[in-house]
Amino acid sequence: MDHHNHSFDSDIPILRVHPIENDFIIHWDKKLGTGVNGPVRPCEERETGQKFALKCVLDSPRSRQEVEIHCKVNGHPNIVSLHCVYHNTFRLNGDATPRSRLLLVLELMEGGELFDCISRAECFTEETAAQYMKQAVKAVHCLHERNIAHRDLKPENFLLTDDSEAAVLKLSDFGFAKVDDGSLMTPHFTPYYVAPQVLEAQMHMRAVKDGLAESPYTYDKSCDMWSLGVVLYIMLCGYPPFYSENPNVAFTKHMRHKILSGEFEFPEDDWDSISNEAKDIIRRLLYVDPMERMTIQELAAHPWLNRTTSEHSHTPLHSPLVLADKSKWADIKHAHAVENTQLRLPDTPVMLQPVAIADNPIIRKRRHRQKTQGESSQQAPTKKAAQVEVHSKVSSGGF
């Protein structure tokens, strides 16, 4: 992995306390996206006319921690830039009284989310996937070498600077990020991308609450490596390695068991043209035991990420067609909000599984299940729900 010399701010910046609207025109009626701590809106700097994204969050220790961690990695070419931060007290729609808020002025990522970009690609190959993954690895490496766990790596948080072929991939949203000092216990996660250790932490937390356990269960930044494995898997085939087989339940016990045991497949129809080196990365990232899981340094050095153009397979992948189809199974639209809804704001995730492209393991298994159980009465509503177009959010920062 090539390293660059970058200067990083190490402390929280001086908070500007004068009204932000003295310096910026804010489009409060528009929304670029919604993240774990609040919506993101477009804005322009009055003096220069430069466009930015504005993230508005309630002032709290957690919000200040987000700013502080973002500052520690600010300036890296693969991390969304934090331009400045304001501390204002004002009312928004729905507020009974003015509230103290932090306003983060961020780089505007006009290319949108990674998977949206892939869905528009006319020809998407392993070489392109490797180039995206290499940039994602650089961003995570920046965090991990500073002993920071992101804890919410998912496609919505990998964004592109623009729509050109030369667009740069950057990591966003540090709302769940935390220094890995041995005290990571809170089970922050999105179901598709959650590592086994985070599920273990959730179960342990429940056991402590019920008086069945005492000592805390901690996990570490290796949870990010698992999530990268899931992101790469989806990038190459268009659907997740772990999923609910019940269309009425977003996160089932069976799905939880599969994650905890690391049981996943490479269905031949979708994976026979994908290189063994790419599969090797996924296998080594999706090890249940975090001690055996590939580290960010090992991933950066993997041959698949360091191949030349001529060494990569140029066979077009199916993933753009899968990700581009907007007709989705109704249950998947709720998957990201099922677990720990009290820890995050409602979010509309990138949807992964189309109905039109029905020849994949998720759809096959669900259809077989419905047929064997004689659930003919459920076919009509399921089909109707599947025809509802669910739009993935177009985000400046996936925040």
The angle subtended at Cα 321 by Cα 284 and Cα 242, nearest 5°, is 35
Residue 242 to residue 261: CA distance in whole angstroms: 11
- Provide CB contacts within 8 A for 296, sequence distance 6+: 137, 140, 141, 144, 145, 224, 225
- Provide CB contacts within 8 A for 46, sequence distance 6+: 22, 23, 24, 25
Classify 289 as helix, strand or coil: coil
Please tell me what DSSP assigns to residue 118.
H
Angle subtended by helix axes 222-237 and 196-209, to nearest 10: 130
**Which tokens belong to 30?**
């528009």
Contact predicate 159/396, CB 8 Å: yes
Residue 153 to residue 161: CA distance in whole angstroms: 18
Residue 125 to residue 129: CA distance in whole angstroms: 6
Residue 96 to residue 248: CA distance in whole angstroms: 37
Nearest Cα neighbor of 155 from 190, 191, 114, 193 is 114
Contact predicate 384/21, CB 8 Å: no
DSSP secondary structure string, 41-109? EEEEETTT--EEEEEEEE-SHHHHHHHHHHHHHTT-TTB--EEEEEEEEE--TT-SS-EEEEEEEEE--
Residue 360 to residue 172: CA distance in whole angstroms: 31
φ, ψ (nearest 5 deg) of residue 273: -95, 0
> Which is catalytic among the residues 116, 152, 173, 224?
152
User: Is-catalytic flag, 152?
Assistant: yes
Return the active site residues: 152
